Amino acid sequence: MAAKSAEATRFVATWSAVSQGDLGLKAGIRTSAGELTFRPILGWVTVTERRVGTDEVSNQIHPLLLNDMGYPTLGIFVQGCVGVFPIGMTDAQAAEFSKRWTQKNETQAPPLAAMLN
């Protein structure tokens, strides 16, 4: 007799229209060689997810970037995207900040507020 599989958690996601502008930020992408590179931000999309059958809701805002093929893609779907950084931050400063942050928090991108303080 086959074991009953656990029911997958279902979410319903609603995406906003694209809000253009970079808000003075650039996206950091970690290459397979471990180098931090940057891409311009084309705009922003707000994603609201609702867990089916509950009142649980999460609201997120994601940068819109060009992927390796040149198509607009949400940053969470671009391989190696580690977060956003102020445009005025030098590449060396951003790389150092990202390195320090990921040593402490391996699964989270750095919050913008932490970079500005």
- Does residue 72 fall inside a structural domain? yes
CB 41 within 8 A of CB 22: yes
- Does residue 41 fall inside a structural domain? yes
**Mean per-residue pLDDT over the chain, rounded:** 81
Burial of residue 81, with CB atoms counted within 10 A of its CB: 0-12 exposed, 13-18 middle, 19 or more buried: buried
| Nearest one of 78, 79, 49, 51 to 61, comparing CA atoms | 49
CB 39 within 8 A of CB 22: no
- Does residue 6 fall inside a structural domain? no
**pLDDT per residue over 81-109, tens digit each?**
888 999 988 888 888 887 777 666 555 55
Distance from C-alpha of 117 to C-alpha of 114, rounded to nearest angstrom: 6
- Does residue 110 fall inside a structural domain? yes
Report how many domains make up the chain. Answer: 1
Mean local confidence (pLDDT), 43-50: 91
Distance from C-alpha of 112 to C-alpha of 49, rounded to nearest angstrom: 22
pLDDT, position 35: 84
| Nearest one of 58, 62, 82 to 74, comparing CA atoms | 62
- Does residue 2 fall inside a structural domain? no
What band does 113 get if pLDDT is binned at 50, 70 and 90?
Answer: very low
Check pLDDT > 60 for residue 54.
yes
- Does residue 5 fall inside a structural domain? no
> Structure pTM?
0.70
Structural domain containing residue 81? 11-116
**How many residues does this entry show for the chain?**
117
